[in-house]
Structure 1
Amino acid sequence: MLWGCFSAAGTERLVKIEGKRNGAKYRENFDENLFQSAQDLRLGRRFTFQQNNDPKHTAKTTQEWFHNKSLNVLEWPSQSLDLTRIEHLWRDLKIAVQRRSPSNLTELERICREERENLPKYRCAKLVASYPRRLEAVIAAKGASTKY
């Protein structure tokens, strides 16, 4: 499993997560990577973090972790895939990696990192800028699917 993040400034760390993902592993990954990624993206300490409603994201211990770190977490409506911007980057990465046909896991990981570096910054900026339109579309569709 890979974890990554991005902002309008571009992509940041791509981290391989070993084993089964659970709330404890999710929080451990944040301790090791989230703040450094925010610093590398020049976000400072005042940024809004977005995640979906996966149980490990909404677990009480995870919510307490965010609170203890004074992180602003965007409230997430249920079943709102149209608002999940990072999924577009995961798709772009998947297509780029498949074109290179990795033959083993080591090669796959290396190619994923290389292709992540090649994801255009303008693509990230466009995804961030599109968020208000996405919200409006979801509201207009009363939570149903949108073009996003």
Structure 2
Amino acid sequence: MTIKLGKKVPFVWTKKGQQVPHVGQLVHGKGVHVWAGISWNGPTGIIIWDSKCRMDGNFYCKNIIPEVIKSGQRLFDGEYQLVQDNHPAHVSAATMDVIEENNIQLFPHPPQSPDFNAIEFLWRDLKIVRDKINPRTKAELVQLIIKFWKTKVTPSYCRTLIRHACKNIERSFDGLNHEKDTPTNKIYHH
């Protein structure tokens, strides 16, 4: 996930005759990439790197897979299934070879299905916090992400997100028409 600095300001209100103030534009790349995972037993470790460095299969194998293995040992004594979307780095030949070499079991995930992927709800919440706090530097952004991860991402929070994703999966297969359901931004029904 890429988390960028700054808020978008779509409108600027001025009085008639007043000059429109200059609103600064953020330079591309002022952000970070974040990899992390959640499970029923709690969060994985978190990896944060500069947004100018793209994640490809080699980066994924060298940096992400070791954290997957370490977190899998810590959270599940090594018995787990990895759920990931179909990002090119996740499905590259090099990645699939490393996953097979390390006996990591993959849980199949349909492409283009963010509502089925529990961590997508976490990224949304992180962006909401980022917008409220509005960090001005990359260092402040990284600190915000680390604080969010350490204080908000508890086993209980992870379970709530996973339950919501499971509910979305069930609703997609229940044969009912949910078009008339009232949309809500509230997924946290503890």
Aligned-partner SS, 2:76: coil
Q: Is 2:41 the partner of 1:9?
A: yes
Provide the C-alpha distance between the structure 2 equivalents of 1:44 and 1:135, rounded to a whole number of angstroms.
27
1:90-109 equivalent positions in 2, closer than 5 A: 90-109=123-142
- Maintained 8 Å contact 1:47/1:72: yes
Q: Show the counterpart of 1:138.
A: 172
Could you tell me which of 98, 101, 107 is aligned with 1:65?
Answer: 98
- Maintained 8 Å contact 1:5/1:14: yes
Q: Show the counterpart of 2:64.
A: 30
Provide the C-alpha distance between the structure 2 equivalents of 1:54 and 1:110, rounded to a whole number of angstroms.
26
Which blocks of at least 5 consecutive residues in structure 2 are unaligned? 1-32
Structure 1 segments, 4+ long, off by >4 Å, are 145-148
- Maintained 8 Å contact 1:2/1:16: yes
Code of the aligned partner of 1:14: I
User: Which of the two has greater helix per residue?
Assistant: 1
Provide the C-alpha distance between the structure 2 equivalents of 1:113 and 1:79, rounded to a whole number of angstroms.
28
Code of the aligned partner of 1:54: H
Code of the aligned partner of 1:64: D
Q: RMSD over aligned Cα, in angstroms?
A: 2.5
Which blocks of at least 5 consecutive residues in structure 1 are unaligned? none
Provide the C-alpha distance between the structure 2 equivalents of 1:48 and 1:107, rounded to a whole number of angstroms.
34
Structure with larger RCO (C-alpha < 8 A, sep 6+):
1
Deviation at 1:120, TM superposition (A): 4.7
- Maintained 8 Å contact 1:8/1:126: no
Aligned-partner SS, 1:17: strand
Higher gyration radius (CA): 2
Aligned-partner SS, 2:61: helix
Per the normalisation by structure 1, the TM-score is 0.84
